[in-house]
Amino acid sequence: MAKGLFTQCLCLLTDGRTTVEDVRAALKAADFKVLKRAKPQKDWQLGGPILVVNYRPEVNGFAAVDLVERPWPDEMGDPKADAKTFGAWGAGHFGPLAFPGGLARAGEHSWAWEAGRAIGAVHRGFIRLRTSYVFSTKGDAPLIPQDYDSLAELMFLSRAVVAVLDVPGILCYFNPNGEVLRDAAGFREMWDACQEQKKTPLPLWTNIRFFNLDQKLGFMDTVGNGQLDVPDVEAVYPKGKYSPSTIDNYLRNVTHYLLGLDRKMQTGETIDGPGEREQSWTTEVVKDGTIAPPRRVVRLYPKERHEAVQEALAAARKA
């Protein structure tokens, strides 16, 4: 999937007792301009009770904040058994980059919030905060404006998340595109620290996961960089030389590098390795990442480990 009807989507998981009026009050108290409340769609997959929030009206930019009183559909439906959910997912209603099993994977890799590992089983509803530029427009209107700014969108929706976090019934924050889970305290701590230091709050939007490829090689990757219109990053590394925390920091730094790059990286380029300038790593630009969800990635690893890395990746794909 790609950005289209909706360009970003952040979520909050609830225990089922949150009301749309509580959400409206919280947004208005934080100085968001709520333009109207719309009736729920006939099919819940397309929208529960919806609040339309002003974002960039000069280019028909608005946010839809809707409340759904049922669990997140992590399997994303089936073309035969649940065609409505499947169709809504295909159209981006659950996030333009969401993929089946995203909540389960977010729980599995909820390193910053251990309780998030079980949240999928206990939540009873969710709130979606989605940006779009095609509300109430003619069919020939552009899906995305010329001066589109993905970072500004995510900052806007994240401020709305902060405003709504204390509404009764909110259990946690969930980003379906970056497969991130955070409780209210963890979200605010990261948000406030990044605001104070004037840093981009990547950990709130994109997750980092780690795996073992074999006894000698570790594997870590990012999920969700596509929200910022750059590829995700994979790193394959010798476990005896680098710690996961070092690679975690490296993946964030490479993401920042990609955000500042005015061209696309190419296979075969060299790049500085983690925390050092003496050793070069090599790059492979691939259409599909090694581990779900499917997405474009830049794969990085030490040049001299090329053969071992390729053998380990091939074995992992067969497993």
Reported as a single tens digit per residue, the pLDDT across 69-81 is 999 999 999 999 9
Angle, CA 264 vertex, CA 262 and CA 268 arms, to 5°: 130
Instruction: Provide CB contacts within 8 A for 124, sequence distance 6+.
Output: 14, 15, 16, 69, 70, 71
Summarised one tens digit per residue, pLDDT across range 205-250 is 999 999 999 999 999 999 999 999 999 999 999 999 999 999 999 9
Alpha helices in the chain (DSSP H): 20-29, 83-90, 102-108, 119-122, 150-164, 184-197, 202-205, 244-260, 306-318
CB 187 within 8 A of CB 165: yes
Identify the residue whose tokens are 């108290």: 29
Residue 94 is predicted with a pLDDT of 98
Are 93 and 182 members of one domain?
Answer: yes
Q: The tokens of 79 are what?
A: 């073309």
Same domain, 73 and 220: no
Among the candidates 173, 197, 221, a domain finishes at: 197
Residue 50 and residue 17 share a domain: yes
Identify the pLDDT of residue 65. 98
Q: Is 3 among the domain residues? A: no
| Res. 136 pLDDT band, cuts 50 70 90 | low
Provide the residue count of the chain: 319
Strand partners, 284: 299
pTM of the model: 0.96
Collect all residues with Cβ–Cβ distance below 8 Å to 44 and sequence separation of at least 6: 68, 70
- How many angstroms separate the CA atoms of 234 and 219, rounded? 7
Q: What is the pLDDT of residue 318?
A: 75
Domain end residue (candidates: 143, 167, 197):
197
- The answer to whether residues 75 and 160 belong to one domain is yes
Number of separate domains in the chain: 2
> Could you give the maximum distance between any two Cα atoms of the chain, in Å?
60
Residues 158 and 30 in one domain: yes
Residues 169 and 143 in one domain: yes
Q: Are 221 and 291 in contact (CB under 8 A)?
A: yes
Find the distance separating the first CA and the last CA of the chain, reported in whole Å.
26
Expressed as residue numbers, the domain containing 310 is: 206-318
Question: Are 100 and 159 in the same domain?
Answer: yes
Least confident of 87-91, 120-124, 275-279, 295-299: 275-279
Does the structure show a pLDDT above 90 at 40?
yes
Question: Cα(257)–Cα(66) distance, rounded to whole angstroms?
Answer: 35
- Please tell me the predicted confidence (pLDDT) of residue 316: 84
Q: Which residues pair with 297 in a beta bridge?
A: 232, 286
Tokens of 272: 């500085």
Q: Judge if 157 and 127 occupy the same domain.
A: yes
Domain end residue (candidates: 137, 168, 197):
197
| CB burial string 108-120: b at 16+ within 10 A, e below | ebbbbbeebbebb
278 and 178 within one domain: no
- Is residue 140 scored above 90 in pLDDT? no
Q: At which residue do the structure tokens 């009026």 appear?
A: 21
Is residue 84 classed exposed, middle or buried when 0-12, 13-18 and 19+ CB atoms within 10 A define those classes? Answer: middle
